[in-house]
Chains A and B, each alone.
Chain A
Amino acid sequence: MDKKENTTGMMSCPLPISDYDAITMAHGGGGKMMNNLIEKMIMHYLSNNMTSEKHDGAVFNVEGHRLAFTTDSYVVNPVFFPGGNIGELAVYGTVNDLSMCGAKPLYLSLGLILEEGFLIKDLEKIIISIRDACERTGTQIITGDTKVVDKGKGDGIFINTAGIGIVREDINVSPSRVEGGDVIIVNGDIGRHGIAIMTTRENLDIESTILSDCAPLNHVVQKLIDAGIGIHCLRDLTRGGLGSSVNEIASQSQYEIEIEEKSIHVLEEVRGVCEILGFDPIYVANEGRFIAIVKKEDAGKTLEILKKEDDGKYASIIGVVKGKNKKGLVTLKNLMGSNRILDMLSGEQLPRIC
């Protein structure tokens, strides 16, 4: 018998090894593969009573204060995209994650990883837009770090921000609060950010005027809180889009969710690009969109508040929470009136052949 020492026993990866020996782009795509990586590997080793909520940030008590804490890294290409740039995205993204915990965002950290050769004037533009984004959200950068890597070891600029916010004692926003009968409301049309980025990528000769929906959500969430809306859960619709976010909530809350396709608004131009590429807008990333899951009796008031926002014209009620369902089933009532499964995105959406 081979007496070679078994050194892999302790360290074996809980993800089936035959699947993936190396990280692929789909592991960061916000869909099923990313979830598997987080669940089966990262959480396998690092979970604790604070991470079990699987929310956009952690909420915890420190000497009588309820705080929310989150972090996010930004690796967008191109760095300047129609409707925004990586700087404001890095502020809004983290502010939005805190907002989704029902927190009032207060302070951020800023970590810059710069690639040798990145233009100073571009960096300045980014820093200025970070300043403006902080002003707009009422937050401050209070600590930071800067590193430079060799040419070819980065993609111009990577940014990490972490954020801390304060949560009111009476606010409890989490998938675990979702109940049967709750109503799901989205704050506008979907798919703009992902498509704005796609159309500017090299080798895709599509001219469009689509702008990213990149925007802060803290003020609108605050308005919902101030109006006394019974908010059960909030989730921003970033990577993996609406489809993946709804699936995450369904599986975390163990409720069935039904979404109605005709209530979801997608701009004509976004739909056009999706048709060409064979993408489903329901899985395309957004940076200023979220769903609020609220008590049925508060749906009307919530919609009214969301519609009053500058970019809230297409806010709409898109679905309802049905009964308990251990698998977290999500169904979509399609345009023909029949129901189908709306699954989490598996891997990345890839442009199709024909």
Chain B
Amino acid sequence: MKYLDEYRDSDKAKLLVDAIHKKVTKKWSIMEICGGQTHSIVKYGIDDLISPNINLIHGPGCPVCVTPIEKIDKAIEIASKANVIFCSFGDMLRVPGSNTDLLKLKAVGSDVRIVYSPVDAVQIAKQNPDKEVVFFAVGFETTAPPNAQAVFIAHQQGVMNFSVLVSHVLVPPAIKAILDSKNNLVQGFLAAGHVCTVMGYKEYEEIVSKYKIPIVVTGFEPVDILQGILMCVSQLEEGRHEAENQYSRVVTREGNAKAMEVMYEVFEICERKWRGIGEIKKSGFRLKEKYSDYDAELKFGVVNYSVEESGECISGLILQGIKKPVDCPVFGTKCNPEHPFGATMVSTEGACSAYYLYKEKKL
């Protein structure tokens, strides 16, 4: 399959692995931002292939993982209401709230539906004028434009029985928070290719010069990731710190202007709590005042929630690279994909879940 097979080619991968080995002279810690990259790294055993001098730290870029448990509880409360059709991307359904999850809610009769595009949820609202249709607007900058588009269309067409439960997060503030942490170990980043498809990588230029740290926009296939690592390691070894683009077949420096236009029309930047990390300033999107009629939290009055995370979960430390999943005493035993304790186990793209699935469980 074009654009995939050539990036899963083991010969090309071997050449890159060798090149990385040759380049590395000392220990480096590199964080891949995106859960999709973590998934590929563990699935293809990239961390075992490359030089042991490179410590890959699995970053916070899985939107399912970092959605705060309070939001899940709000989703569950809204979806439990009799006249609500609750729409979501598929992988949010399994994520446990304090007491239950959306899949179990569906099993006991709530109308919970998987949609493939948020605009489909607007369509469902139009087909069901006597129901309230709520879409769970989760994700990074990647899903923000289509989610904004759904709200924009509903507003334009006067679809008033549609609303969104927003839990959007942004990558650059998370990178800054990691770098500002006194425990930071990260010396270079592989930025998330799909986020940059929308946003470009212009905004990383300020970060690389302020923090003197390399950032390489990287794709998701094994060859992409190995090439991203090589580019990052080359910068580190050569004492450079630049924003570079490995994923140039998709990403431009400026990003997708049209996507950003609708995103900023509908959303504005706000504080956001990240599961496993805590609140990060200016790290999320919320609906602008103009679109507040489409805010499900206001519509259903589910504004103030506070939930304590499991004390046994170390996902915050894993997301900062201080610990690995296998360092956790409950990993693979009490905490597993069927009964996740925290952020990094809830989605297949979380580091703990990827380790459990592909690596450490039985070996």
> Which residues from chain A contact B363 at a C-beta distance below 8 Å?
329, 341
Quick check: A343 and B357 within 8 Å, CB to CB? Answer: yes
Asked whether B26 is an interface residue with its Cβ less than 8 Å from the other chain, the reply is: no
B169 to chain A, nearest CB (A): 12
Q: How large is the interface on A (under 10, 10 to 19, 20 to 34, 35 or more residues)?
A: 35 or more
Quick check: B338 and A351 within 8 Å, CB to CB? Answer: no
- A33 CA / B113 CA spacing, docked (Å): 21
- A346 CA / B339 CA spacing, docked (Å): 11
User: Which residues of A in the span 192-208 have a Cβ within 8 Å of any Cβ on B?
Assistant: 203-205
> Which residues from chain A contact B116 at a C-beta distance below 8 Å?
203-205, 277, 351
Asked whether B212 is an interface residue with its Cβ less than 8 Å from the other chain, the reply is: no
Question: Which of the listed residues A278, A329, A341 has the most CB atoms from chain B within 10 Å of its own CB?
Answer: A341
Asked whether B361 is an interface residue with its Cβ less than 8 Å from the other chain, the reply is: yes
> Which residues from chain B contact A228 at a C-beta distance below 8 Å?
none
Asked whether A11 is an interface residue with its Cβ less than 8 Å from the other chain, the reply is: no
User: Which residues of B in the span 112-145 have a Cβ within 8 Å of any Cβ on A?
Assistant: 113-116, 120, 138-140, 142-143
- A107 CA / B103 CA spacing, docked (Å): 39
B363 to chain A, nearest CB (A): 7
Asked whether A323 is an interface residue with its Cβ less than 8 Å from the other chain, the reply is: no
> Which residues from chain B contact A26 at a C-beta distance below 8 Å?
103
Quick check: A351 and B114 within 8 Å, CB to CB? Answer: yes
Provide the main secondary structure of the chain B interface: mixed
Choose from A23, A329, A335 the contact partner of B362 (Cβ within 8 Å).
A329
Quick check: B338 and A335 within 8 Å, CB to CB? Answer: no
> Which residues from chain B contact A268 at a C-beta distance below 8 Å?
1
Q: Which residue of B lies closest to A339 (CB)?
A: B45
Quick check: B104 and A338 within 8 Å, CB to CB? Answer: no
Quick check: A337 and B10 within 8 Å, CB to CB? Answer: yes
Quick check: B107 and A346 within 8 Å, CB to CB? Answer: no
Provide the main secondary structure of the chain A interface: loop
Quick check: A351 and B90 within 8 Å, CB to CB? Answer: yes
Count: A-B pairs, CB below 8 Å: 110
> Which residues from chain B contact A20 at a C-beta distance below 8 Å?
104, 107
Quick check: B358 and A341 within 8 Å, CB to CB? Answer: yes
Asked whether B78 is an interface residue with its Cβ less than 8 Å from the other chain, the reply is: no
B5 to chain A, nearest CB (A): 9
Chain B 94-107 near chain A by CB (<8 Å), digits 1 or 0 = 10000000011011
- A234 CA / B18 CA spacing, docked (Å): 42
- A43 CA / B220 CA spacing, docked (Å): 43
Asked whether B42 is an interface residue with its Cβ less than 8 Å from the other chain, the reply is: yes
Choose from B1, B45, B138, B348 the contact partner of A334 (Cβ within 8 Å).
B45
Quick check: B103 and A21 within 8 Å, CB to CB? Answer: no
A257 to chain B, nearest CB (A): 12
Question: Which of the listed residues A21, A203, A204 has the most CB atoms from chain B within 10 Å of its own CB?
Answer: A203
Quick check: B90 and A352 within 8 Å, CB to CB? Answer: yes
Asked whether B359 is an interface residue with its Cβ less than 8 Å from the other chain, the reply is: yes
Could you list 8 further interchain pairs (A-B, Cβ under 8 angstroms) beyond the known A336-B8, A353-B138?
A: A21-B108, A340-B43, A341-B357, A341-B361, A351-B91, A352-B90, A352-B91, A353-B91
User: Which 9 pairs between the two chains have the least Cβ-Cβ distance?
Assistant: A338-B45, A350-B90, A351-B90, A340-B358, A24-B107, A353-B89, A354-B142, A336-B44, A22-B107
Q: List 18 A-B contacts (CB under 8 A).
A: A24-B103, A25-B107, A203-B120, A204-B116, A272-B1, A335-B44, A336-B8, A338-B44, A340-B42, A340-B358, A340-B359, A341-B357, A350-B114, A351-B90, A351-B114, A352-B348, A353-B90, A354-B142
